[in-house]
Amino acid sequence: MSRRIILSMHTSLDGFVAGSNGEMDWIKVDNELFDHVGQLTDEADTALYGRVTYQMMEGYWPNAADQPNASKHDIEHSRWYKEVGKIVLSRTLQKQADKLILISDDIAEKINSIKQQSGKNILIFGSPTAVHALIKENLIDEYWLFVNPVILGAGIPLFTNLEQKIKLKRLSTKELSSGVTALNYVVDK
**What CATH number is given to the structural domain containing 78?**
3.40.430.10
How many separate domains does the chain show? 1
The pLDDT, as a whole number, for residue 38 is 86
Task: Answer yes or no: are the C-beta atoms of 75 and 95 closer than 8 Å.
Answer: no
Q: What is the C-alpha separation between 153 and 46, in angstroms, rounded?
A: 33
The pLDDT, as a whole number, for residue 166 is 93
Residue 60 lies in a domain: yes
Give the structural domain span for 59.
5-140+155-164
Residue 78 lies in a domain: yes
User: How much is the average pLDDT of 40-54?
Assistant: 92
Phi and psi angles of residue 62, each rounded to the nearest 5 degrees, phi first: -60, -30
Indicate if the pLDDT at residue 96 is higher than 80: no
Residue 178 lies in a domain: no
Residue 181 lies in a domain: no
Residue 125's beta-bridge partner residues? Answer: 8
Closest CA to 9 of 85, 123, 171: 123
Residue 28 lies in a domain: yes
Residue 146 lies in a domain: no
Condensed to tens digits (0 to 9), the pLDDT of residues 119-176 reads 999 999 888 989 999 999 999 999 999 999 999 999 999 998 888 899 999 999 999 9
**Share above pLDDT 70 across residues of the chain, in percent, rounded to a whole number:** 99
Indicate if the pLDDT at residue 50 is higher than 80: yes
Element (H, E) at 45: strand 44-50
Residue 176 lies in a domain: no
Task: Answer yes or no: are the C-beta atoms of 43 and 159 closer than 8 Å.
Answer: no
Q: What is the C-alpha separation between 169 and 187, in angstroms, rounded?
A: 6
User: How much is the average pLDDT of 62-82?
Assistant: 90
Indicate if the pLDDT at residue 3 is higher than 80: yes
Neighbours of 163 (CB within 10 A): 7
Of the ranges 41-50, 87-96, 140-149, which one carries the lowest mean pLDDT score?
A: 87-96
